[in-house]
Structures are given as C-alpha cells and as structure tokens.
C-alpha cells in the first residue's frame, strides 16, 4: 500500500489551504448570518465559486473527469486530503463544486446518463449553475435496507409515474436545486431478484405533483440547503427520464455511495482536527481552581486520545481510497463500511471532548462545536446506520473464518490429562 500523494496533489493541497484562508474563512461570519436569517447565501458563494474555478480548484472529486469537462481530475487518494481541508467549514465544499449530494449525482450521470441527460443535467452541474438532490430514504420504511423502498415508479405508455414519500433529502431546499434523482420500486424490473426491482428516474423539481413538504430540522438545527420531506403524487415524467436500465437502481445506488463515503469521512476528519485545535487552545487559556485546563491529566488524556484516534481514522480512510483507485469500488466495499462507521463515531467523541473543555460555551452557536456534534450524530444514520456497516464487516470476517475453519487449532494447548479420582 502506498499512501503517498502525487506532486500535483501536494500542490493543490497547498493552493486549497491558501484559498480557504484568503477567500473563504473571511466570509464565514457573513455566510452564517445570512443562513440564520433564512436567506441562502448565494451572493457570497457566487464570487467564491468563480474564483475557485479560475484557480483550478473545481470538480476535484471525479477521477473519470474528461479533458473536455471543467475541473481537475484527481484520484480518490489525492482528493481525500482536499476534502479534509474544505471540510473544516461545513459550507465550503460548494465553493469548489464538490458538495454532496451533487457529487454523487454527477458520478451517476457521468456513468449512466444518455447524451440528452448529459447535456440537460450534467453539463450545468459540472459548470456549477444548478444543484440537485437524491431521493432515496423514506419515512414509512427502514431505508437502511434499500430493498424495502416502497415509492413506486410505474410505466404508463411513454411516461413513468412516481408515487410515494421521501424524507431527509439533502439539498432539496437549495434555491438552485433543479432536479431529483429518485429511487423507487419499478414494475419493469426482475420478478425473481429483489435486488433488481428498483429503478432511478430524473424528476425536475418543478414537475406537477412534486411537493417539498418541509425542511426537517436535525436535532432542532435547520440546514439552509435542507434535509427535506418530499411528496410525489402522480408525478409524470417522460420515459427518457429513466437513468440507467430498469431494475438497476439498487446496484447504481450502492455504486454511488462508495466514493461519497470517502468524501464524507475526510470532511469529518477535517472537522475533528478543527475541534482538537480549538480544544487544545482553550485548555491553554482557561483556568479553573488555580490551574490551566491543560494541566489536568484528564484533559491531557482527551487531547492525546483525540490525536491518536484522528490519525488512525485518517489512515483507514486513505486505505479505502487507495483500494478504490487500485482495485475498483467493489473491492473496497468492506473498507468503505469500516470508514463510515469509524469516522461518524469519531466525530461525536472528539467534538464532545472539545465541548466539555469549552464548558457551557460549547453548547452555543458562538463556536461551531454544537453543530459539528449534531452533524456527527446524524452521520451515524446517513449513508447507512452503524448497525448495517457493522453487519457488513462481521459478515466478511465470518466468511473468512468458515473458509479457514480449524486453522487456529495448532495454537491451542489442550493435552489430554488424566483426572485424579
């Protein structure tokens, strides 16, 4: 395994750090103020996006990016540290056209779009002119098992008709969100294989029958881009809106999640690094009972444990990214489950320690810590709950044990001994 980043990646990392410091961080207070007022900060983002594209910091997430398409193609391994850098500010990824869920949707369109879909939807997304959402999870079914999804996509002549409810659909409240990629149960898939009974269709957000019902708060926090509930009532789209082939939606959804989890995890690591930096600085400044917090052994333990856990998680994510680049996304399936589990749990642990060092201030909007903890807790559900990923890892370990059953026998020392009467 070689986790060494290319010279190009190192140069882009340096450029990204300088860009964040010079252009993005100075606008953070303005962005937060506008977002809290209920106005999405497009006027802040627009000039930043223009500058980022001019500086070559654009569409960095897509290894298959063509030379004719705007941006800089990078491997998953080379992109990972960039996601960490931009992740320190939760809204920064949009500046570089690297924000979820659009990155995953662009990957899907890049792989499966027809020429007409490419021109209509992918081209303006790659240009950063529009955004999108991915409608998969539902309120009435356990969406951690995607085969449970009950939203229907039925064929009627030259159209598909979509009926159902989706929720926690990230990005649906963004003012530039123009379409949703909807996963639903189709009537033209396989009757025998339950993994081939779902399809994906592209649904413009202004289609009659589509209603964004509400922006759902996550632990009382409203995200300006939205984590929304959407109702689809007899929503009709042309048959040409089908993405990929009938019945392939489940497999496409799984393929979409792989690279996206690397992006999420590295952004999480960036936020954990920020929390650790804030915690250590605070411990050097805050005094209780005649001593700085940094002089208390338990605080030093929190700092050390956070440092070690962050570094361990980063190496695990880089290993997953390297495997994806070297052997393909499918070969890294277990690694992707492992990093999703480790990174989400890491964020709540590290941020919780930082909040404890900050005291009551850590619970307020005066620092980013309360939001980062909330987001870390949400990550334990997003892209699959902890239990699903634990199950994936355990299943593979048990398969290996069955294959090599008995191989540990020589390590036992169980000599037959006579038992005295």
Least confident of 3-7, 154-158, 192-196, 207-211: 192-196
Does residue 41 have a pLDDT over 90? yes
Helices (H) and strands (E) in the chain, counts: 12, 10
Q: Provide the percentage of residues in the chain whose pLDDT is more than 70.
A: 97
In this prediction, residue 413 carries a pLDDT of 86
- Mean pLDDT of all residues in 102-130: 96
Decide: 160 and 235 in contact? Cβ < 8 Å.
no
**Burial track 249-274 (b if 16+ CB lie within 10 A, e otherwise):** bbebbebbbbbbbbbbbbbbbbbbbb
Tell me which range, 87-96, 184-193, 376-385, is most confidently predicted by mean pLDDT. Answer: 87-96
d(CA 319, CA 321): 5
Give the pLDDT confidence score for residue 190 in this predicted structure: 65
Q: If we measure between CA atoms, which residue out of 134, 217, 212, 133 comes closest to residue 176?
A: 133
Query: Residue 145: how many CB atoms within 10 A of its CB?
Result: 10
pLDDT of residue 148: 82
Structural domain spans, the chain: 7-99, 131-247, 251-403
Name the fold adopted by 251-403.
Butyryl-CoA Dehydrogenase, subunit A; domain 3 (1.20.140)
pLDDT mean over 249-271:
87
pLDDT of residue 142: 77
CATH class of the structural domain 7-99: mainly alpha
Of the candidates 35, 20, 32, 39, which has an alpha carbon nearest to the alpha carbon of residue 93? 20
Domain 131-247 superfamily per CATH? Butyryl-CoA Dehydrogenase, subunit A, domain 2 (2.40.110.10)
- At 301-329, the pLDDT tens digits run 999 999 999 999 999 999 999 999 999 88
Residue 318 in tokens: 């880089």
Number of C-beta neighbours around residue 277 at 10 A:
12
């Amino acid at each position: 395994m070689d986790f060494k980043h290319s010279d190009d990646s190192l140069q882009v990392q340096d450029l990204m750090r300088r860009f964040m410091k010079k252009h993005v961080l100075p606008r953070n207070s303005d962005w937060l103020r506008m977002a809290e007022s209920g106005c999405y900060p497009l006027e802040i983002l627009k000039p930043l996006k223009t500058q980022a594209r001019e500086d070559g910091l654009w569409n960095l997430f897509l290894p298959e990016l063509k030379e004719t398409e705007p941006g800089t193609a990078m491997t998953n391994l080379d992109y990972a540290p960039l996601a960490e850098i931009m992740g320190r500010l939760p809204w920064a990824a949009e500046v570089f056209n690297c924000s979820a869920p659009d990155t995953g949707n662009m990957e899907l369109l890049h792989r499966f779009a027809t020429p007409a879909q490419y021109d209509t939807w992918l081209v303006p997304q790659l240009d950063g002119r529009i955004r999108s959402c991915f409608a998969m999870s539902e309120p009435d079914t356990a969406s951690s098992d995607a085969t449970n999804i009950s939203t229907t996509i039925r064929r009627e002549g030259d159209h598909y008709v979509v009926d159902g409810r989706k929720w926690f659909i990230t990005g649906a409240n963004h003012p530039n969100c123009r379409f949703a990629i909807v996963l639903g149960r189709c009537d033209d898939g396989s009757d025998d294989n339950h993994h081939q009974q779902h399809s994906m269709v592209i649904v413009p957000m202004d289609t009659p029958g589509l209603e964004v019902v509400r922006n759902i708060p996550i632990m009382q926090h409203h995200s300006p881009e939205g984590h929304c509930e959407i109702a689809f009532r007899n929503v009709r789209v042309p048959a040409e809106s089908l993405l990929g082939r009938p019945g392939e939606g489940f497999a496409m959804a799984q393929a979409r999640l792989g690279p996206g989890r690397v992006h999420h995890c590295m952004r999480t690591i960036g936020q954990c690094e920020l929390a650790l930096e804030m915690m250590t600085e605070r411990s050097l400044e805050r005094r209780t009972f005649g001593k700085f917090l940094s002089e208390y052994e338990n605080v030093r333990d929190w700092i050390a444990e956070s440092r070690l856990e962050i570094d361990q998680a980063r190496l695990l994510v880089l290993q997953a990214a390297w495997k994806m680049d070297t052997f393909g996304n499918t070969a890294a399936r277990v690694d992707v489950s492992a990093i999703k589990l480790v990174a989400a749990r890491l964020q709540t642990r590290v941020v919780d320690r930082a909040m404890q060092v900050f005291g009551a201030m850590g619970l307020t909007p005066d620092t980013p810590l309360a939001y980062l903890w909330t987001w870390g807790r949400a990550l334990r559900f997003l892209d699959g709950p902890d239990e699903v990923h634990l199950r994936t890892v355990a299943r593979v370990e048990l398969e290996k044990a069955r294959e090599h059953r008995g191989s540990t026998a020589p390590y036992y020392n169980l000599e037959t001994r006579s038992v005295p009467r």
